[in-house]
Amino acid sequence: MRIIVALISLGVAISLLGVLGFRFNLTESLPPGVYRVTAGSPTHGSIVQVCLPRRVAEFARARGYLGPGKCPARVRPLGKVVLAVGGDVVRIEPEGIRVNGEMIANSRTAVQDRHGRPVPHHPWGVYRLPSGELWLFSDHRSAYDSRYFGPVHEEHVVAVLEPWWVQR
């Protein structure tokens, strides 16, 4: 009986924190922990949650990259860091990503996912992001980010987050 009460209490506490603007991350894309929703627009280095465009979300769901959620295509939002914004120049090449000429550490595009399946990537090339576009990134080796699906328009951002309590 105590276990049931404890589990119900935990569920209520987690739900209440969600209503108060806190988000939990247990994925490898960001440090695990609790993040707080903040006001404002995403800029370089912002942590965001996005609902991916439907085509990208459906691919991610089919591959098991995203679990069930409330975004279109019934997947959960993706949490990433904003690496580049409108006006920035992104170069994606086999060696990695450059933003405004600077090579980003741990940005080499994977050929296969963790299950050995080929992963399509955004075409190699140089891209000047138009206003409102964001290039999302995680330095985790199995991250699914803009290297694979390209830039995302800021209209897909559902929250800008700041770390509240995270494990580093």
CA quadruple 31, 25, 139, 158: dihedral sign: negative
Least confident range of 17-31, 65-79, 82-96: 17-31
At residue 41, the 3 state secondary structure works out as coil
Is the pLDDT assigned to residue 8 strictly greater than 80?
no
Q: Rounded mean pLDDT of 13-34?
A: 72
CATH number at residue 33: 2.10.109.10
Q: Rounded mean pLDDT of 154-162?
A: 97
**Whose CA is closest to 84, among 38, 141, 152?**
152
- pTM of structure: 0.87
Q: Rounded mean pLDDT of 16-37?
A: 77
pLDDT band, residue 9 (cuts 50/70/90)? low
How many structural domains compose the chain? 1
Q: Between residues 168 and 13, which one has the greater pLDDT?
A: 168
List the domain range (segments joined by +) for residue 154. Answer: 2-166
pLDDT band, residue 142 (cuts 50/70/90)? confident
Structure tokens at 89: 């120049």
pLDDT one-digit tens code per residue, 81-130: 999 999 999 999 999 999 999 999 999 999 999 999 999 999 999 999 99
CA quadruple 45, 46, 49, 53: dihedral sign: negative
Is the pLDDT assigned to residue 154 strictly greater than 60?
yes
Q: Between residues 2 and 114, which one has the greater pLDDT?
A: 114
Q: What is the pLDDT of residue 24?
A: 75
Rounded to the nearest 10 degrees, how much is the dihedral formed by the CA atoms of 148, 115, 35, 138?
-40
